[in-house]
Amino acid sequence: MEKRKSETSLGLEENVEAALAYVLGFLTGIVLLLLEKESEFVRFHAMQSTITFLGIFIMQRILVFIPFLGWLLVMLLSLVGLVLWILGIVKAYQGEYYKFPIVGDIAENQVRKMSS
């Protein structure tokens, strides 16, 4: 797998900026989607972060209203979110175009549509 070291439109190395897309979940994902104009690698990771963590956030807000089972599912989603957060940061920093199951394909298609 190739390592990415080129600079982005924001002046950071691609792998650093892509890793930053995950740091505050969907918030940094949205910010980098709006600011990054050149790097499709960064835009992919920003889109993947946005879709993944916004989805988890919304599901948790809905499930919290379901007594017991909902609360257990919220805790499970929190654990899944933590694992995906760490995996996203590490893989992006390593320069890998790593796709999460289901969400990765959606993010890839959205970035492709935005680039057209």
**pLDDT tens for each residue of the chain, 116 residues long:** 445 567 788 889 999 999 999 999 999 999 999 999 999 999 999 999 999 999 999 999 999 999 999 999 999 999 999 999 999 999 999 999 999 999 999 999 999 999 87
Contacts of 46 (CB under 8 A, 6+ apart): 18, 21, 28, 29, 30, 32, 33, 36
Distances (CA, A) of 32 to 46, 47, 51, 67, 107: 6, 9, 13, 36, 14
- The token pair at 44 is 């992919």
Identify the DSSP state of 66.
S
> Is residue 20 within 8 Å of residue 32, measured between CB atoms?
yes
